[in-house]
Amino acid sequence: MARFEATLLTSLKATEDYYTSAQAKVNDLGLWGSTQMAREIRDWRAKNFATLKETITSFILSRTHRDLLAAADTRLAQIRDSIRILKLEDNEDIAALMKKADASLAQAKEGYDTLEASFNAQTVPEKPLEIVKASLDALGDTYQTFFDLSEAVKKVLPRS
């Protein structure tokens, strides 16, 4: 992972160098030269910087994402223990919701694992932000299922 971070830093340095070089030329340009340079910078940004920006954003989000997945994993284990202690594992609604939570958390992890494997191999998957979004959506579904489980448990437990 450190190698990929170094690669990103090298790419950022190259971007900085490109803009520094372009800035140094600005004072010597006329109107036509300024128009040409603006086109060149626009084209360069579209070709180089947009992809780099998406990659860096995905990389940063994946670091935060790892912590969110760990928290969800811990929460799911706590919920599973609570349901076992309350002897509610055989309740069909609760069992179905647990299965749904497991599936959505697995889907969230799959997206994260795809990014991690890619970054470890020093490659970038196609449309990394879409992978992050899909994984975070699955994580959101997991937490919604946690809420649904809480409501289902409340319905089953006797009220005092």
- Give the HSE-up count for residue 122: Cα atoms under 13 Å, Cβ half-sphere: 10
Average pLDDT rounded to a whole number, residues 108-124: 83
Q: What are the phi and psi torsion angles at 88 (to 5°)? A: -110, 10
- Which structural domain, as residue segments, surrounds residue 23? 2-156
Total structural domains within the chain: 1
pLDDT tens digits along 43-98: 888 877 777 787 787 777 777 888 899 999 999 999 999 999 999 999 999 999 99
CA distance 73 to 139: 10
**Alpha helices, DSSP H, located in the chain:** 2-26, 31-44, 50-85, 92-120, 128-156
**Percentage of the chain with pLDDT > 70?**
98
How much is the pLDDT for 60? 79
Average per-residue pLDDT for the chain: 85
Q: pLDDT category, 13, cuts 50, 70, 90?
A: confident
Which pLDDT score is estimated for 2?
A: 67
